[in-house]
Amino acid sequence: MSLLVVDGLGITFGGLKAVDDVSFAVAPGEIVSVIGPNGAGKTTLFNMISGIYRPGRGRVSLNGTDVTETPPHKLAEMGLSRTFQNLQIFQDMTVLDNVLAGYHLTERGSIWADLLALGSMRRRADKAREGARGLLARVRLDKAAEQMAGNLSYGALKRLEIARALALGPKILLLDEPAAGCNAVESEEIDRLIAELAAAGIAILLVEHDMKMVMRISNHIVVLDHGEKIAEGDPATVSRDPQVIAAYLGTENAEGAHADG
């Protein structure tokens, strides 16, 4: 069964159909990428799925539950987590504390219990710390745990953002341009990390402009143009699709659309 089902999703901004009747599904362990030229509607689609925008039309379901219009923090508790195109890292906090910030989302509502039971709070803090260190190891940043995040390289910051998104143990991870601004070596590290997360059973939904990366790691690609889904399929099929090639022609991504990975 699909973990995430997007069914007929649409939104209009002042008469412009930014996303129009888009449907697709993502299964556990699957890497699905959403691609399309600038302004195609990718980020808007992400914002609707992750509860930031309220869709004008259509439904989103997670693990069989309708989650259309569910707020982001609730979605995070239900197993849907995301990263942002612009890094949301606290530069003047340590790497470890940045990951711990991801855990605090789940701590809401328990503060009174904590006041009555400091021992339990300490135990939970220790557990979160241990979990955060485990996540840092997973993204290969364990040795940098005590460093200020602001001292990290750009590629390392991108991995830190992924570690924080993993704090709540998501079933599906939405990654908005995880390789943007990375050099080739950093992109490959992100690549490897995404493949490892998928191999561990996490469903991945990716928006990425690095077409070589998309072609390399995706099981399935959804192509948007002017808000509409114009194609979907495996990387080989999509990169040969005349409508996809036409959508990219004349844009800076034209070369990427033909990437054979």
> Could you tell me the smallest distance in angstroms from the CB atom of residue 122 to ligand ATP?
43
Residue from 28, 39, 56, 72 touching ligand ATP (CB under 6 A): that is 39
Residue from 3, 9, 26, 40 touching ligand ATP (CB under 6 A): that is 40
Q: In this structure, what token pair is assigned to residue 12?
A: 């209009």
Angle, vertex CA 28, rays to CA 166 and CA 66, nearest 5? 85
Residue from 20, 31, 36, 81 touching ligand ATP (CB under 6 A): that is 36
> Could you tell me the smallest distance in angstroms from the CB atom of residue 100 to ligand ATP?
30
CA distance 58 to 169: 27
CA distance 19 to 13: 9
CB count in 10 Å sphere of residue 110: 13
* Residue length of the chain: 261
Told to check if 65 binds ligand ATP by CB under 6 A, we report no
CA distance 163 to 96: 10
Residue from 8, 12, 13, 137 touching ligand ATP (CB under 6 A): that is 13
Select 99 or 179, whichever has its Cβ closest to ligand ATP. Answer: 179
Told to check if 41 binds ligand ATP by CB under 6 A, we report yes
Angle between helices 154-165 and 118-138 (to 10 degrees): 130
> Could you tell me the smallest distance in angstroms from the CB atom of residue 144 to ligand ATP?
29
> Could you tell me the smallest distance in angstroms from the CB atom of residue 229 to ligand ATP?
12
> Could you tell me the smallest distance in angstroms from the CB atom of residue 253 to ligand ATP?
9
Q: Hey, what amino acid is at 144?
A: A
Residue of 189, 196, 110 whose CA lies nearest to 154: 189
Told to check if 44 binds ligand ATP by CB under 6 A, we report yes
List interacting residues with ligand ATP (CB under 6 A).
13, 16, 18, 36, 38-44
